[in-house]
């Protein structure tokens, strides 16, 4: 977990709840007032899961969604009536702990007998209480659905008038990736409880569990058996992909880096994991990833569907028959592999049901949804599901197959017009109306049935879609960006370059954070979101171009973007007024950009940044170290440490010549907060104006309303002061 912070003799103010401000100026009330409409429209609705329908339930059932009401500090959980687009949401959580909690898993169950009685319905959560990401396991249920009402349990959260949350684990280890078998007999999860470093796989029974716990008020610790052994080398990072429909096997992946994982199958009862090796793979093992699902057909329970990069630059959908050792290519774009629907983008979000295989494609930051029917007239034909009356953007989706509705989907839609809203679609009645597009691709067109009660407040301000901007970098690499201009390029305005984290992440077509539209509409700045080398979504070759000793090549991409702005975009952008902002790895990129191009920027804003590579790698959560060393380099090797010291912003603060603002959560277990404190102190000593916000009970990213509202307003105030609209910054 994140270590407690020692501020020593550092002086700070507390301008609002949960904020420590170091060298911060007061933020004008007008900015808080001006932000209200942007914050309101950004309170979207997240789809969490379909509830499991119990015996005697009728109707279309319910789902659990997340949403932050206006009067709450953090998001709460709500029940959505799937049959009605008008029925108000039913709130089920009421615990506000004054902290930025994180929920890693919310997995519905039919019930459990852990306390010797049948506790029906509800879910298992992996949830922390402070944003540290060291989640514990919790049992959520409602007394009204169980025949026996348990007394108040000492480890239970107060949640009246909602359901009940009992804590099941009582240590400082991390638990997540909860999976429940289709039969509801088996629960699997991962944890580092064995030794604090290895994320290993455990299983426990929900039925006939024989835990020995009684139906009383005493807390108990959920027993579980270890399935995967600890590593004798680097720490292991296992993930659970699936449980077979016959409850015999677990499908696992072992992750080494963002571009390297291995697939395994292991008996639920325990045993040595069996490596999944795809035949005739064309790519190196260390450049291959796996996302796997078992067949849901009882006749072929151990057939495996995968998204893998084993056959090309992109992650493609294939089917693997273990009994014959053969692979059927479904979307692999290489012509010689004769896939029925080649897709020249990375595929993701694989869901396998008894009747369909679903997946989506990331087409340059826009989502496309596909379905492969496993029976009927369109069997083995990959169909694109085109959404009627959809403005385009990105979305995630969930399929209600565990309640016997494999044709029913709920989408979490997000676009330039709206924060996340929920909509229902049903493909069943549209499969007899298959059309063919201009490229010969088969598709069905399906209308959206939007849930009015899960739709954000419409924006009362101007929004518009991004444009795709590309530029050639120093080595000829084409770098894509999402680009927004407040007046469509009619005049030269200041510009904010916003760099995503990851680094294996991507700036997509979705709507932006609260301050995005304020920056556009109130300040009149343009914003560019570059997907520098190392970004995901453009193939594994592109993603590997910043690894280890090539780290600063991504910084060079920003330098080339600055040149492109100055030489080719002068009619729409003022190259003398540019700010850079980013979080996490994007925070490092912000600091590095200020160092490498000190005369090009007016100011910089870094959120939870990596400032010193060696100490970051030494102090990040132990369970993450091997994974991050695979991406950034192993600081224990002298030659690598020398390089990491050389590129660390903390060692080059004298090269920063413009004001810098930093924000960080004090419970961050990924990038410890001392990275921000040391960077702020060192920059301040050089005579350059530097500000720091430390956010209490927050982790890697902020969850509490008061923290979000203050840090956003402070960022805007900083931009107002150091990126003026009317007068360029003074020359150095």
Contact 416, 467 (CB under 8 A): no
398: three-class secondary structure by DSSP: strand
Q: Is residue 135 part of a domain?
A: no
Distance of CA 294 to the CA centre of its chain: 24
Q: How confident is the model at residue 731 (pLDDT cuts 50, 70, 90)?
A: very low
Look up residue 557 and give its DSSP letter.
H
Residue 427 has pLDDT above 80, yes or no: yes
What tens digit of pLDDT does each residue of 97-145 get? 666 678 888 999 999 999 999 999 999 999 988 888 889 999 999 998 8
Q: From edge to edge, which strands make up the β-sheet containing 200-205?
A: 175-180, 186-191, 200-205, 225-226
Q: Is residue 364 part of a domain?
A: no
562: three-class secondary structure by DSSP: helix
Q: Is residue 316 part of a domain?
A: no
Arithmetic mean of pLDDT, 354-377: 95
Look up residue 447 and give its DSSP letter.
E
pLDDT at 655: 96
Range of the domain at 578: 19-40+458-722
Q: How far apart are CA 159 and CA 321, in angstroms?
A: 48
Residue 644 has pLDDT above 80, yes or no: yes
Q: Is residue 286 part of a domain?
A: no
Arithmetic mean of pLDDT, 544-564: 94
Contact 201, 190 (CB under 8 A): yes
Between 271 and 27, whose confidence is greater? 27
Percent of the chain with pLDDT over 90: 76
Contact 579, 605 (CB under 8 A): yes
Interhelix angle 551-568/585-596, rounded to 10 degrees, is 60
pLDDT at 502: 87
What tens digit of pLDDT does each residue of 662-673 get? 999 998 889 999
Q: Is residue 315 part of a domain?
A: no
Residues 6 or more apart in contact with residue 110 via CB below 8 angstroms: 52, 54, 120, 121, 184, 206
Residues β-bridged to residue 580: 497, 604
Between 224 and 731, whose confidence is greater? 224
Domain of 688, CATH number, reads 3.40.50.1820
Cα atoms in the 13 Å half-sphere on the side-chain side of 7: 12
Cα atoms in the 13 Å half-sphere on the side-chain side of 131: 25
pLDDT at 619: 92
Q: How confident is the model at residue 3 (pLDDT cuts 50, 70, 90)?
A: low
Q: Is residue 555 part of a domain?
A: yes
The domain total for the chain is 1
Percent of the chain with pLDDT over 70: 98
Look up residue 317 and give its DSSP letter.
E
> What's the whole-number average pLDDT of the chain?
92
Q: How far apart are CA 188 and CA 579, in angstroms?
A: 46
Residue 507 has pLDDT above 60, yes or no: yes
pLDDT at 4: 63
Between 298 and 151, whose confidence is greater? 151
Residue 523 main-chain phi, psi, to 5 deg: -90, -25
Terminal alpha carbon distance of the chain: 43
Pick the closest to residue 233 from 191, 197, 278, 193 (CA basis). Answer: 197
Q: How far apart are CA 442 and CA 447, in angstroms?
A: 17
Residue 703 main-chain phi, psi, to 5 deg: -115, -30
Q: Spell out a b/e string for 541-564, using b for 16 or more CB atoms within 10 Å of the CB, else e.
A: ebbbbbbeeebebbbbbbbbbbbb
pLDDT at 511: 63
Give strand ranges (E) for 364-430.
Answer: 366-373, 383-388, 394-400, 405-415, 418-426
What tens digit of pLDDT does each residue of 467-493 get? 999 999 999 999 999 999 999 889 999
pLDDT at 728: 41
Confidence (pTM): 0.93
pLDDT at 729: 38
């Amino acid at each position: 977990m994140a270590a407690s912070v020692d501020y020593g003799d550092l002086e700070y103010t507390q301008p609002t709840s949960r904020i420590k401000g170091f060298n911060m100026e007061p933020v004008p009330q007008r900015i808080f007032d001006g932000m209200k409409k942007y914050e309101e429209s950004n309170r979207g609705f997240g789809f969490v899961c379909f509830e499991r329908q119990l015996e005697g339930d009728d109707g279309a059932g319910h789902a659990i969604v997340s949403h932050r009401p206006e009067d709450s500090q953090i998001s709460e959980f709500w029940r959505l009536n799937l049959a009605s687009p008008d029925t108000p949401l039913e709130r089920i959580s009421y615990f506000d702990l004054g902290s930025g909690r994180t929920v890693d898993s919310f997995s519905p169950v039919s019930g459990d007998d852990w306390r010797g009685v049948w506790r029906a319905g509800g879910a298992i959560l992996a949830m922390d209480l402070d944003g540290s990401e060291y989640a514990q396991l919790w049992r959520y249920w409602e007394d009204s659905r169980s025949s026996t009402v348990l007394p108040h349990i000492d480890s239970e959260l107060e949640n009246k008038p909602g359901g009940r949350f009992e804590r099941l684990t009582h240590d400082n280890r991390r638990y997540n990736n909860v999976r429940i078998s289709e039969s509801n007999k088996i629960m699997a999860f991962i944890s580092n409880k064995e030794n604090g470093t290895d994320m290993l796989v455990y299983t426990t029974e929900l039925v006939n569990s024989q835990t020995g716990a009684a139906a009383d008020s005493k807390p108990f610790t959920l027993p579980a058996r270890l399935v995967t052994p600890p590593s004798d080398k680097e720490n292991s990072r296992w993930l659970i992909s699936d449980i077979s429909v016959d409850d015999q096997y677990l499908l696992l992946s072992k992750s080494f880096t963002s571009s390297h994982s291995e697939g395994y199958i292991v008996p639920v009862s325990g045993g040595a994991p069996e490596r999944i090796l795809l035949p005739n793979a064309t790519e190196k093992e260390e450049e291959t990833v796996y996302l796997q699902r078992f067949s849901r057909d009882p006749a072929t329970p151990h057939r495996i569907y995968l998204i893998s990069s084993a056959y090309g630059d992109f992650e493609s959908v294939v089917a693997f028959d273990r009994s014959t050792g053969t692979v059927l290519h479904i979307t692999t774009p290489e012509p010689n592999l004769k896939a029925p629907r080649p897709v020249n983008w990375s595929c993701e979000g694989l869901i396998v049901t008894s009747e369909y295989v679903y997946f989506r494609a990331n087409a340059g930051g826009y989502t496309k949804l596909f379905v492969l029917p496993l029976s009927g007239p369109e069997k083995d034909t990959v169909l694109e599901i085109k959404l009627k009356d959809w403005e385009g953007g990105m979305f995630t989706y969930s399929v209600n197959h565990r309640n016997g509705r494999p044709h029913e989907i709920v989408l979490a839609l997000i676009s330039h017009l709206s924060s996340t809203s929920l909509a229902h679609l049903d493909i069943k009645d549209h499969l007899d109306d298959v059309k063919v597009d201009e490229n010969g691709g088969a598709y069905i067109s399906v209308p959206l049935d939007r849930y009015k009660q899960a739709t954000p407040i419409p924006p009362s301000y101007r929004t518009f879609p991004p444009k795709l901007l590309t530029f050639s970098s120093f080595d000829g690499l084409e770098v894509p960006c999402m680009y927004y201009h407040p007046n469509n390029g009619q005049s030269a305005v200041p510009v904010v370059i916003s760099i995503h984290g990851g680094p294996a992440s991507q700036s997509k077509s979705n709507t932006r954070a609260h301050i995005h539209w304020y920056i556009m509409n109130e300040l009149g700045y343009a914003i560019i979101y570059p997907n520098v080398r190392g970004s995901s979504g453009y193939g594994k070759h592109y993603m590997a171009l910043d690894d280890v000793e090539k780290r600063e090549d991504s910084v060079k991409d920003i330098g080339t973007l600055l040149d492109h702005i100055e030489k080719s975009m002068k009619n729409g952008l003022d190259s003398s007024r540019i700010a850079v902002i980013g979080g996490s790895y994007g925070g490092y990129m912000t600091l590095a950009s200020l160092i490498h191009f000190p005369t090009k920027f007016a100011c910089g804003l870094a959120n939870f940044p990596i400032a010193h590579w060696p100490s970051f790698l030494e102090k990040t959560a132990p369970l993450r170290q091997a994974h991050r060393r695979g991406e950034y380099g192993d600081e224990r090797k002298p030659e690598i440490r020398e390089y990491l010291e050389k590129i660390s912003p903390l060692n080059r603060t004298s090269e920063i010549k413009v004001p810098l603002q930093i924000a960080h959560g004090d419970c961050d277990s990924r990038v410890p907060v001392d990275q921000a404190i040391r960077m702020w102190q060192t920059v301040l000593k050089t005579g350059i104006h530097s500000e720091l916000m430390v956010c209490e009970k927050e982790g890697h990213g902020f969850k509490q309303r008061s923290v979000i509202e203050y840090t956003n307003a402070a960022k805007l105030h900083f931009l107002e002061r150091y990126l003026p609209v009317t007068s360029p910054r003074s020359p150095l």
